A and B are shown apart, each in its own frame.
Chain A
Amino acid sequence: MRRASKVFAFLLGLTPLFWLAWRAYKADLTANPIEYITHFTGDWTLRLIVITLAITPVRKLLNLPELIRYRRMAGLFAFFYGTLHFLTYIWLDKFFDIHEIAKDVVKRPFITAGFVAFVAMLPLAITSTAGWIRRLGGKRWQKLHRLVYLSAIAGVVHYYWLVKSDIRLPVLYGVLVALELAYRVGIKVSGQVAPRVLRQGHGAR
Chain B
Amino acid sequence: MLIKKAADIRYSEITPKRLYLDRRRFLAGVPGAFLAAKAFAAGTKFQNLAKSPFSTTEKENSYNDITHYNNYYEFGTDKGQPAENAKNFKTSPWQVSVEGDVAKPGKYSIEDLMALAPMEERIYRHRCVEAWSIVVPWVGYSLSALLKKVEPTPKAKFVAFETFYKPSQMPLGRSAGIDLPYVDGLRLDEAMHPLTMLTFGLYGETLPPQNGAPVRLTVPWKYGFKSVKSIVKIKVVSSQPPCTWNITNPSEYGFYSNVNPKVDHPRWSQASERRLGEFFKRPTLMFNGYGDQVAGMYTGMDLKKYF
Residues of A within 8 A of B (CB): 30-32, 34-35, 95, 104, 108-110, 161-162, 164-168
Q: With A165-B77, A165-B248 known to touch, is A31 a contact of B65 (CB < 8 Å)?
A: yes
Q: Counting CB contacts under 8 A, is B145 at the interface?
A: no
| Nearest B residue to A92, CB-CB | B279
Q: Counting CB contacts under 8 A, is B277 at the interface?
A: yes
| Set of chain B residues within 8 Å of A35, measured between Cβ atoms | 132, 274
| CB <8 Å contact, A31 and B274 | no
| CB <8 Å contact, A165 and B73 | yes
Which of the 9-residue segments B4-12, B52-60, B175-183, B200-208 touches chain A? B175-183
Min C-beta distance of A9 to chain B, whole Å: 30
| CB <8 Å contact, A31 and B177 | no
| CB <8 Å contact, A108 and B274 | no
| CB <8 Å contact, A31 and B276 | yes
| CB <8 Å contact, A162 and B276 | no
| Nearest B residue to A168, CB-CB | B175
| Set of chain A residues within 8 Å of B280, measured between Cβ atoms | 95
| Set of chain B residues within 8 Å of A167, measured between Cβ atoms | 177
| CB <8 Å contact, B79 and A32 | yes
Q: Counting CB contacts under 8 A, is B105 at the interface?
A: no
Identify which of B69, B77, B132, B249 contacts A166 (C-beta below 8 A): B77
Residues of B within 8 A of A (CB): 61, 64-65, 68-69, 73, 77, 79-80, 130, 132, 134, 175-178, 248-249, 267-269, 274, 276-277, 280-281
Identify which of A32, A104, A161, A168 contacts B274 (C-beta below 8 A): A32
Q: With A32-B274, A32-B276 known to touch, is A165 a contact of B132 (CB < 8 Å)?
A: no
Identify which of A32, A34, A104, A108 contacts B69 (C-beta below 8 A): A32
| Nearest B residue to A162, CB-CB | B267
Min C-beta distance of A205 to chain B, whole Å: 62
A35 CA to B132 CA, complexed, in Å: 10
Identify which of B73, B267, B281 contacts A161 (C-beta below 8 A): B267
| CB <8 Å contact, B274 and A34 | yes
A118 CA to B279 CA, complexed, in Å: 25
| CB <8 Å contact, B268 and A108 | yes
| Set of chain A residues within 8 Å of B69, measured between Cβ atoms | 30-32
| Nearest B residue to A94, CB-CB | B281
A32 CA to B276 CA, complexed, in Å: 6
Min C-beta distance of A30 to chain B, whole Å: 6
